[in-house]
Amino acid sequence: MGRLLDGGTALFAFIAAVFWFLSAAGSLPPILTYWGRAPETDPFYQAMKFSALMNMIAAGCSGMSALLFGLRVAFWPFANRHSFLERTEAREGATMTFSERLRTWRDNRRKAGEEWWRNLLKIWPASNLHGIEKPVGVVLFVLKTLTLTELIALLAWNWKGKRKWLPDVCVGIVIVVLGFLLARFPSVVIASYFLASIMVYLLNVVLLDYKVFGDPDHSGWASAVRSPERSLILFILNVAQVVLIFAIFYRWKLPSLEACDALVDAFLVFGTVSLPEKIGEGAKGMAAFQVATDFMLLAVFLAHFVGGLGREGVKPKAGKPNDRDGQGRVD
């Protein structure tokens, strides 16, 4: 629990720093004079309003970081100082040279590549995949290699052994990056990459993770949903990512659209509440694409979450891999 609080403290502190940077980034528009009061559409007024919003979010994240740190100190004290010093001295004594570190990095990357290849070879002969599932599974597995977390595991750091929290942290970081892109730099290329990554990752979870590679926690029997609560939280965050991505698309398609208006329009289209007037006039095709993506996202989540709940607690006995009674029959 102490490490979890440490991670939350660092994450909220990082998010606060990003939003404070957003509040100060860029130059202010010139101040214009009006009779009476400045209208709501005044550029300087909009800039100050945006800066105040970013500051409010940053202050909230900073307060949350301080709260988590206070809980850490109060209820989960740090390790004994002497043991900390002993660990530090041990690390210093085991310091490797640059060539040794480079050799270790190469060995780790080679092992990661070999593991990736072994997993790829498991897909086609898998007995749980039928017909078109096999080629689609191969394509999805290869495409998953291009996602952020898989690139980190293959090229830099194999987090899959003991650092399984990395995907959760990456989801939060991606939301912050998308918020920055929406506010300052609506890059359709980066947003498209994140959208493709979300869909490829979720399809891999549904088609491959349970059927081919077994349970994520390697408990020895199938358990597709390691934590239903975690799956629900990640789905909510994925929805937030998709809404931010399409808000970026709308700003890119309609440059006159403000960031807040684009976000509200993306929420309305996501809920199929209505088609905003500006979106209907200049980005109707984009709205149709968002509706299709939203339904696909929901279908993938239900297939994984609800299907996993149905399999939870069903432990196969001895016999064929998919037997439930050990005699070749499947319930």
Q: Does the pLDDT of residue 48 top 90, yes or no? A: no
- pLDDT range class, residue 8, cuts 50, 70, 90: confident
Euclidean distance between CA atoms 113 and 259, whole angstroms: 41
pLDDT the model gives residue 143: 92
Confidence band of 309 (pLDDT split at 50, 70, 90): low
Burial class (CB in 10 A: 0-12, 13-18, 19+), 104: exposed
**What value does the mean pLDDT take over residues 68-93?**
57
- Give the model's pLDDT for residue 157: 73
- In sequence order, what are the residues at sequence separation of 6 or more whose Cβ sits closer than 8 angstroms to the Cβ of residue 42? 32, 34
Using CA atoms, how far residue 111 sits from 106, 108, 209, in Å, is: 9, 5, 20
pLDDT at 82: 46
pLDDT reading at 84 higher than 90: no
Least confident of 94-98, 133-137, 182-186: 94-98
22-42 mean pLDDT:
76
The predicted structure's pLDDT at residue 181:
87
* Residue of 28 and 220 predicted with greater confidence: 28
Q: For residue 170, is pLDDT > 70?
A: yes
Q: Look at 37-41, 61-65, 113-117, 275-279 and tell me which has the smallest mean pLDDT.
A: 37-41
DSSP H helices, the chain, are 2-24, 43-75, 81-93, 98-123, 133-144, 148-155, 166-184, 188-204, 228-253, 259-270, 277-282, 284-311
Between the ranges 69-83, 154-168, 176-190, where is the mean pLDDT highest? 176-190
Q: d(Cα 71, Cα 2) in Å, to the nearest integer?
A: 9
Q: Give pLDDT, residue 234.
A: 83
Q: What is the share, in percent, of the chain residues with pLDDT greater than 90? A: 7
Lookup: tokens for 95? 């310091």
Return d(Cα 129, Cα 158) in angstroms, integer. Answer: 28
In the predicted structure, residue 193 carries a pLDDT above the cut 90: yes
> How large is the angle between the packed helices 98-123 and 133-144, nearest 10 degrees?
160
- Could you tell me the CA-to-CA distances from 197 to 116, 176, 261 in Å, in that order? 18, 16, 26
Q: What is the mean pLDDT of residues 199-216?
A: 77
- Band (pLDDT 50/70/90 cuts) for residue 227 is low
With a cut of 60, say whether residue 95 has pLDDT above it: no
Q: What is the pLDDT of residue 277?
A: 80
- Check if the beta carbon of residue 38 is closer than 8 Å to that of residue 45: yes
Token digits for 91? 């690390």
Asked if 289 and 283 count as a contact pair (C-beta separation under 8 A), the reply is: no
Specify the pLDDT at position 194.
93
**Which residue did the predictor score with more confidence, 292 or 64?**
292
**Looking at residues 37-50, what average pLDDT do you find?**
78
Instruction: Report, as an integer, the average pLDDT of 205-221.
Output: 61
Instruction: Output the average pLDDT for the chain.
Output: 76
